[in-house]
Amino acid sequence: MKKKIAILGSTGSIGIQTLDVIRKNKELFTAEILIAGQNSNLLIKQAKTFKPKIVVINDESKYLYVKKHLKNQKTKVFAGKKEVINVVKNKSIDTVVSAVVGYSGLEPTISAIKAGKNIALANKETLVVAGELINNLIKKYKVKMYPIDSEHSAIYQCILGEEKNKYEKIILTASGGPFRGFKLSQLEKVTPHEALNHPKWKMGKKISIDSATLMNKGLEVIEAKWLFDIDPSNIEVVIHPEAIVHSMIQFVDGSIKAQLGVPDMKIPIQFALTSPYRIESNFPRLSLNKKLSLNFEKPDLNTFKNLKLAFQAIKEGGNKPCILNAANEVVVDSFLKKEIKFLEMSNVIEECLNKIEYIANLNFKDYVEIDRKTRILTKKLINK
């Protein structure tokens, strides 16, 4: 039987590439439900192409516009946050691809898990904000979570079949972003345009800025802790500018196993949907017959302080990762609007981590409240 997919964030970079995987494997998958934030025109185009059972536009002001353009097909149209949370429970779907960016992915992902849906996770913030809660829900509702992030997919692929072998370290690779090798003085005047110009990956604006500050790698450290049940002290980050080795694991005997491939997100997306099996694809291949260099270097935590802040946040635990994520989302948005300078982002995040009271044990409402308080404080610090 075909696997029926709901895509939470169908008009974003990962959502678009997921639909490309579905298009090329029509005998295996159907796009049953498409959920978008504001991009109504692309959602309409996707709906006309894939003819899903349901589409949801989160921006309620665009509901009538979407409905009008889809009136000649059977697709049902809904709008608003409540519908996003409800639709992922639909009985007709097997798997939810959580591909939205940021905190907004948390509640619908929880809703899908409680409805017994397997999760293909690209929304790392879900685990960053509430990793312990998510893991408990996964166990309670007996669902699977498959990573889409290229680094976590690489780790997952490396440990498959190694259930009887212990590994002592996860090694996450990072390209270093557009400012690899820069000093603090060089970063003082960098612009959003320069920060968005990633040398290897084509991504959305938020994740591109996170890559430039190394916050993306910090969030991935926290995500890896929850995905693979490993102490953060056993997670290492290395800069690998070629972005060919997507990550590695080191076993207790000292051997290292790596996953290599071209920088193409469709590979981990497809594997998340077919895991633990692999299917044929026409994706670009990595040629080892050509001249190839693989370089690795230690990240500069003094210049790119966000990575250090992320390690500190997950070491302290409790509400610290939630604070880190909320503050980061606000400063990134402000940087893109040219309201704050590149280096100021880390300073504001650190101040939020220091000023907001530490809470060790949290429920869902606590996470919501911490996120709200942090965003208010972050905006005040930016505008002071």
- pLDDT per residue, tens digit, the chain (384 aa), is 799 999 999 999 999 999 999 999 999 999 999 999 999 999 999 999 999 999 999 999 999 999 999 999 999 999 999 999 999 999 999 999 999 988 889 999 999 999 999 999 999 999 999 999 999 999 999 999 999 999 999 999 999 999 999 999 999 999 999 999 999 999 999 999 999 988 777 778 998 999 999 999 999 999 999 999 999 999 999 999 999 999 999 999 999 999 999 989 999 999 999 999 999 999 999 998 888 899 999 999 999 999 999 999 999 999 999 999 999 999 999 999 999 999 999 999 999 999 999 999 999 999 999 999 999 999 999 998
Question: Is residue 308 classed exposed, middle or buried when 0-12, 13-18 and 19+ CB atoms within 10 A define those classes?
Answer: middle
Inside any domain, residue 284: no
Answer yes or no: is 314 within a domain: no
Determine, yes or no, domain membership for 212.
Answer: no
The predicted pLDDT at position 144 comes to 97
Does 112 reside within a domain? yes
Reported pTM: 0.94
pLDDT of residue 102: 87
- Residue 8 pairs in a beta bridge with 35, 98
How is residue 32 written in tokens? 């049953």
Token pair in block for residue 128? 């960053």
Measured CA to CA, the distance from residue 226 to residue 230 in angstroms comes to 7
Residue 60 within a domain? yes
Q: How many domains does the chain have?
A: 1
- Count of other CB atoms within 10 angstroms of residue 366: 16
Residue 340 lies in a domain: no
Alpha-carbon distance of 63 to 59, in angstroms, equals: 7
Query: CA angle, corner 136, sides to 376 and 306, nearest 5?
Result: 40
Q: Which helix (H) or strand (E) holds 78?
A: strand 76-79
Q: Does residue 68 fall inside a structural domain?
A: yes
| pLDDT (0 to 100) of residue 124 | 92
Query: How far is Cα 2 from Cα 5, in angstroms, rounded to an integer?
Result: 9
The CATH number of residue 121's host domain is 3.40.50.720
Per DSSP, the residues of 168-213 read EEEEEEE---TTTT--HHHHTT--HHHHT--SS----HHHHHHHHH
pLDDT score, position 202: 73
Q: What pLDDT is attached to residue 85? A: 97
**What per-residue confidence (pLDDT) applies to 54?**
98
pLDDT value of residue 39: 96
Q: What was the pLDDT predicted at 340?
A: 96
Candidates 151, 198, 134, 174; CA nearest to 307 is 174
Q: Looking at residue 60, what is its pLDDT?
A: 96
Structure confidence at residue 1 (pLDDT): 79
Q: Are 265 and 17 in contact (CB under 8 A)?
A: yes
Residue 204 confidence (pLDDT): 81
Give the structural domain span for 74: 3-147
Confidence (pLDDT) at 187? 95
Pair type for strands 167-174 and 118-121: unpaired
Contacts of 132 (CB under 8 A, 6+ apart): 226
